[in-house]
Amino acid sequence: MSWLHVERSDAPLILAFPHGGTWIPDELIGDFRSRWWAIRDADWHIRALYDGLADATLIWTDVSRSVIDCNRDPSGASLYPGQATTGLCPTETFDGDPLYREGRGPDIATRRDTWFAPYHAAIEAEIARVRALHGRVVLYDCHSIRSTVPRLFDGELPELNVGTDNGATCDPGLSDAVMAACAGRSHVLNGRFRGGWTTRHYGRPQDGVHAIQMEIAMRAYLPEPTEAPNESNWPPAFDPAFAAPLRADLIRILAAALDFAKGSA
């Protein structure tokens, strides 16, 4: 499984990256109308953004979210009933453009078994390993999205969007510490994004597993174009200097999460 990566630490913090990949298997690429459309909604440069910021276990996949979205309910149930969203195997982009050629579509069961199940087996294994070393563990799910996606939300998204499923997935001590570390940037707790399937599935604060999602508006670390994304302007290149202020903020945010996990928050 060369597409699945785990870098282990013995610290009680796990960072998961379900949407940073752009790989599409050769046998599937011909089903899509456009390869660029099939990777356009990736969490661009998310691994580079978090690289080296904290002592933590890292889990990530190279697979494009258009092949399988590892942060959706495997049953196919919507995480946000009544709101526009994409599914376990998306058939359209964030903007509503159809992803597949006429007569083509995903084999959902096969993709779930091939990519979704191993990714989550890795998360489950790392939670169990780290919990055996510590009294509690924080699972921090790393995401980013374009700042403006009219089909998904009105207006411009706050820079930092923290989700705990309205407090169900972690102790308030964790969310309070993270929100305090977000000060200085526009931020919201349980706004448009309350946490995806990963946060909701693994967050069991009563059992010592505290899960939280961070959805970052990309303008916080990328020079987003003012016009709609197209193949000539999207994605922007990752510029370490441009991203440096947010990386400094994320160091404080992750330190707050790690302090909580260690019981020192």
Sheet strands (E) in the chain: 4-7, 13-17, 57-61, 137-145, 160-163, 187-189, 209-217
Binned at pLDDT 50, 70 and 90, residue 53 comes out as very high
Q: Give the closest residue to 57 by CA, choosing from 164, 135, 143, 130.
A: 130
Tokens 């990328």 locate to: 222
What is the band of 264 on the pLDDT scale with cuts at 50, 70, 90? low
C-alpha–C-alpha distance, residues 65 and 43, integer Å: 9
First to last CA, the chain: 37
Give just the sign of the alpha carbon dihedral 119, 120, 125, 128: positive
- Outline where the chain has alpha helix (H): 26-29, 35-39, 46-50, 108-111, 117-131, 172-181, 197-202, 240-262
Find the Cα–Cα–Cα–Cα dihedral 95, 97, 100, 103, rounded to 10°. 140
- Whether residue 235 is preceded by a cis peptide bond, meaning omega within 30 degrees of 0, is yes
Residue 81: predicted pLDDT? 82
Q: Provide the pLDDT for residue 135.
A: 87
Amino acid present at 25: P
- Spatial distance between the Cα atoms of 11 and 194, rounded to a whole number of angstroms: 26
Q: Which residue in the block uniquely carries the two structure tokens 């002592």?
A: 55
State residue 36's pLDDT score: 95
Residue 84 pLDDT greater than 80, yes or no: no
Angle, CA 145 vertex, CA 30 and CA 90 arms, to 5°? 35
- Model confidence over 239-255: pLDDT tens digits? 999 999 999 999 999 99
Helix (H) or strand (E) holding 114: none
Collapsing DSSP to helix, strand or coil, 10 comes out as coil
Confidence of residue 210 (pLDDT cuts 50, 70, 90): very high
pLDDT 10s digits, 156-196: 999 999 999 999 999 999 999 999 999 999 999 999 999 99
Contact assessment for residue 179 and residue 256, using Cβ atoms and an 8 Å cutoff: no
